Chain A
Amino acid sequence: MAALDQTQVKEGVDQETVDAVREVGTYKYGWDTDIEMEYAPKGVNPDIVRLISEKNEEPEWMTEWRLAAFERWTQIEEPNWAMVNYPKIDFQDQYYYARPKSMEEKPKSLDEVDPKLLATYEKLGIPLKEQMILAGVEGAEDAPAEGRKVAVDAVFDSVSVGTTFQAELKKAGVIFCSISEAIREHPELVKKYLGSVVPVSDNFYATLNSAVFSDGSFVYIPPGVRCPMELSTYFRINAENTGQFERTLIIADKGSYVSYLEGCTAPQRDTAQLHAAVVEIIIEEDAEVKYSTVQNWFPGDENGKGGIYNFVTKRADCRGDRSKVMWTQVETGSAVTWKYPSCILRGEESQGEFYSIAITNNYQQADTGTKMVHLGKNTKSRIVSKGISAGKAQNTYRGLVSMHPKAKNSRNYTQCDSLLIGDKCGAHTVPYIEVKNNSSRVEHEATTSKVDDDQLFYCRQRGMDEEEAVALVVNGFCKDVLQALPMEFAMEAQQLVAISLEGSVG
């Protein structure tokens, strides 16, 4: 069974307001870092795949795994079913590997670190101590921490530049490092789990990622361990014409718990850049993983020039009974977003939750949603999606809820709300529902509303300016999802909601 519901807005705030406020919209992280980079030649072929593998000092089995993925990739077609339009990507006109030259040798102290790299992290608001660690300063780990405690893995273009708080995590038995390090240091874990949730041949972008992923994060939480701090990965695309293909692998062993945060930014450039990540999460018996994303890639300018093409495959496998996963995403960036964080509810009584805010402004396009695949008995899932469109943007929720014959007494609840700002944007809801047993229940609710003139006038009569009014109304609309985010992220997300709608009234 599939339903299709499309809505185009006809009414909205008047044009004058639109134009007046449009001027203001700017992307805060649009600067670039002029840093000496080392590139692999443009394009992708088995030699490039081997080179990436070699740069990461990978064992033979990994190189072979990549080459098999590449071979597969050459045989499959780019998908075109999503409601997004973009010029055909020339996959041979991209760089697949770029890293700051200063990372060739590890700096011994802060003085030796390329100051530009440090400045980059400072601008991004990462605390100093973490900056030092990220810049690879030896001994920085022992310096006293300031403020909140969040372990950060930072990925700058193709390489992980450092992971903070590793020692402290080690004490708890938690492994948190770059995936390249994990391949070298923990091959048994990587071999066992890599590609076990998102197979090499899963889809065009995931397959390409499998061949050319350069770095990413690796997390292993041993049985019964509650990770002592939030883990976070910070992705930054800096180099021009460079694709970022990171790979994240999270394993929550029996009875463990971890909350993981992911943040992303990129410089403002007028050529589009490709980002194709894969995230795999394995959740064993009684374990729980929370994965939160605030995605703020450069969305392109107000005329739709440039921006990140974001094609991401994220999937969690609730293997064990009573395992639980919660995806929370705030998608405000990217020119094109193609992303469906999914849950395979294999274990009995396992639970999947998906909370999403997707904001599109100007010419942004987002086709995002989730897949809840109920395989085990008494499994539960919940989807809360809030899509906000402004400017000339198109926002699509696309989701699948599938109840397999053995998934008896399972339940799903889906709520999809769309909010439209202005009269030139679109919101679309495309839910697919498959129920193959008669004891399961699926509920779907969808609404479409507008930020209406009455609400804005009411706020303005009380003294708020138009942007403040829009931000307030939109934040209210997103409340259910914002509440699902970890505290420090929720604040940031709330501000981001306001920023990404700047110049959007209309």
Chain B
Amino acid sequence: MLEIKNLHVKLEEEEKQILKGVDLTVEAGKVHAIMGPNGSGKSTLSYVLSGRDGYEVTDGSATLDGEDLLEMEPEERAAAGVFLAFQYPVEIPGVGNMTFLRTAVNAQRKARGEDELSAADFLKEVRAKAKSLKIDADMLKRPVNVGFSGGEKKRNEILQMAMLEPKMCILDETDSGLDVDAMKLVAEGVNALRDEGRGFLVITHYQRLLDHIKPDVVHIMADGKIVKTGGPDLALEVENNGYADILAEVN
């Protein structure tokens, strides 16, 4: 589904190479985790895949079901099925959460040539999905992420994911700033979306999220490259011994 080949990325403004040849394939129905020390390029990978400004691809490719992602505008990638759950969800004052969701859902439907969802159908769907994430009516009305707690923000990201039904979900450090209960709730939300047709790329610094979202494949990223790939055990190894051993071994 998602195929990344030899991806080289530098910062647009400065001569700093961040990704130095990433190769990664995420198959439909699979959950891949990327772990790695700070500054290894994990978040950059998620931004480059979703089309954020400020990065320059100097070599390599990234495709989703054969379509070249790197040529598309961010909204085109979204319509094609790329979803990024942000590490720091952005606040939009004055815009109701529900309005935001509906605008997003309909924008994607329009881009795909589908009819817009009627207000009634939308409401029904959003209420059902919000309930399972313990998001109440009040949170749906409040402005997007404004005054939300860390846990509320992340649950809100998962609600957006559930509503937009993407093919490829990228979760960028979704566990940061979450207590154990909130993490469980978020993980349950993600697990409910696991599906044969959907791929996941879970970026995390710690292993603990992977206790709740069980990965099929674990990659270790360091200095802009994937240096080691393995099964779920690899995450445990990191948990027990830290990154130093693995990095030493690779070098």
Contacts A14-B53, A457-B53, A457-B74; is A463 near B94 (CB within 8 Å)?
no
Q: How far is the CB of A139 from chain B (nearest CB, A)?
A: 41
Interface residues of B in 53-69 (CB under 8 A from A): 53
Render A471-492 as a binary contact track against B, CB cut-off 8 A, 1 for contact.
0110111111000000000000
Interface size in chain B (residues, C-beta < 8 A): 31
- Taking a contact as CB atoms under 8 Å apart, the answer to whether A463 and B160 are in contact is no
Q: How far is the CB of A385 from chain B (nearest CB, A)?
A: 15
Contact of A462 among B93, B99, B143, B160 (CB under 8 A): B160
CB-based nearest B residue for A478 = B94
- Taking a contact as CB atoms under 8 Å apart, the answer to whether A464 and B103 are in contact is yes
- Taking a contact as CB atoms under 8 Å apart, the answer to whether A461 and B78 are in contact is yes
CB-based nearest A residue for B90 = A458
Contacts of A460 in B (CB 8 A): 51, 73-75, 78
Contacts of A473 in B (CB 8 A): 92, 95
Contacts of A480 in B (CB 8 A): 94
- Taking a contact as CB atoms under 8 Å apart, the answer to whether B104 and A464 are in contact is yes
Contacts of A478 in B (CB 8 A): 94
Q: How far is the CB of A325 from chain B (nearest CB, A)?
A: 25
Contacts A462-B78, A464-B103; is A453 near B53 (CB within 8 Å)?
yes
- Taking a contact as CB atoms under 8 Å apart, the answer to whether B90 and A463 are in contact is no
CB-based nearest B residue for A417 = B93
Contacts of B95 in A (CB 8 A): 472-473, 475-476, 479
Contacts of B75 in A (CB 8 A): 460-461, 463-466
Q: How far is the CA of A320 from the CA of B194 in the complex (A)?
A: 67
Render B76-87 as a binary contact track against A, CB cut-off 8 A, 1 for contact.
011100011010
Most buried by A among B53, B91, B92: B92
In the complex, A58 has a CB within 8 A of chain B: no
In the complex, A445 has a CB within 8 A of chain B: no
Contacts of B50 in A (CB 8 A): 461
Q: How far is the CB of A467 from chain B (nearest CB, A)?
A: 11
Contacts of B104 in A (CB 8 A): 459, 462-464
Q: How far is the CA of A453 from the CA of B103 in the complex (A)?
A: 19
Q: How far is the CB of A115 from chain B (nearest CB, A)?
A: 37
- Taking a contact as CB atoms under 8 Å apart, the answer to whether B53 and A476 are in contact is no
Contacts A460-B75, A461-B78, A463-B79; is A455 near B92 (CB within 8 Å)?
yes
Most buried by B among A459, A463, A475: A463
Q: How far is the CA of A14 from the CA of B78 in the complex (A)?
A: 21
CB-based nearest B residue for A449 = B93
Contact of B93 among A14, A466, A477 (CB under 8 A): A477
- Taking a contact as CB atoms under 8 Å apart, the answer to whether A472 and B92 are in contact is yes
Q: How far is the CB of A16 from chain B (nearest CB, A)?
A: 9
Q: How far is the CA of A428 from the CA of B99 in the complex (A)?
A: 31
Render B179-218 as a binary contact track against A, CB cut-off 8 A, 1 for contact.
0000000000000000000000000000000000000000
- Taking a contact as CB atoms under 8 Å apart, the answer to whether A468 and B53 are in contact is no
In the complex, A111 has a CB within 8 A of chain B: no
- Taking a contact as CB atoms under 8 Å apart, the answer to whether A464 and B89 are in contact is no
Contacts A14-B53, A472-B95, A475-B95; is A462 near B164 (CB within 8 Å)?
yes
Contacts of A464 in B (CB 8 A): 75, 103-104, 107
- Taking a contact as CB atoms under 8 Å apart, the answer to whether B78 and A463 are in contact is yes
- Taking a contact as CB atoms under 8 Å apart, the answer to whether A454 and B107 are in contact is no
Q: How far is the CB of B99 from chain A (nearest CB, A)?
A: 8
In the complex, B44 has a CB within 8 A of chain A: no
Most buried by A among B89, B90, B91, B164: B90
Render A123-151 as a binary contact track against B, CB cut-off 8 A, 1 for contact.
00000000000000000000000000000
Q: How far is the CB of B163 from chain A (nearest CB, A)?
A: 9
Contacts A453-B53, A460-B73, A460-B75; is A468 near B143 (CB within 8 Å)?
no
Contacts of A455 in B (CB 8 A): 90-92
Q: How far is the CA of A314 from the CA of B136 in the complex (A)?
A: 45
Interface residues of B in 72-126 (CB under 8 A from A): 73-75, 77-79, 83-84, 86, 89-95, 99-100, 103-105, 107-108, 111
Q: How far is the CB of A481 from chain B (nearest CB, A)?
A: 10
- Taking a contact as CB atoms under 8 Å apart, the answer to whether B53 and A472 are in contact is no
Render A432-457 as a binary contact track against B, CB cut-off 8 A, 1 for contact.
00000000000000000000011101
In the complex, B141 has a CB within 8 A of chain A: no
Q: How far is the CA of A480 from the CA of B94 in the complex (A)?
A: 8
Q: How far is the CB of A477 from chain B (nearest CB, A)?
A: 6
Q: How far is the CA of A478 from the CA of B143 in the complex (A)?
A: 13
Q: How far is the CB of A492 from chain B (nearest CB, A)?
A: 18
Contacts of B100 in A (CB 8 A): 459, 462, 472
- Taking a contact as CB atoms under 8 Å apart, the answer to whether B92 and A476 are in contact is yes
User: Footprint of A on B, CB under 8 Å?
Assistant: 50-53, 73-75, 77-79, 83-84, 86, 89-95, 99-100, 103-105, 107-108, 111, 143, 160, 164
Per CB-CB distance, the 4 closest pairs between chain A and chain B, nearest first, are: A476-B94, A476-B95, A462-B104, A463-B108
Give 21 pairs: A residue, B residue, CB < 8 Å, sorted on A. A458-B92, A459-B92, A459-B104, A460-B74, A461-B52, A461-B74, A461-B83, A461-B84, A462-B78, A462-B164, A464-B103, A464-B104, A465-B107, A468-B103, A472-B92, A472-B99, A473-B92, A473-B95, A476-B92, A476-B93, A480-B94
- A-B contact sample (12 more), CB < 8 A, given A472-B92, A472-B95, A478-B94: A457-B52, A457-B90, A459-B100, A461-B52, A461-B86, A462-B100, A462-B108, A463-B75, A463-B78, A464-B103, A475-B94, A479-B94
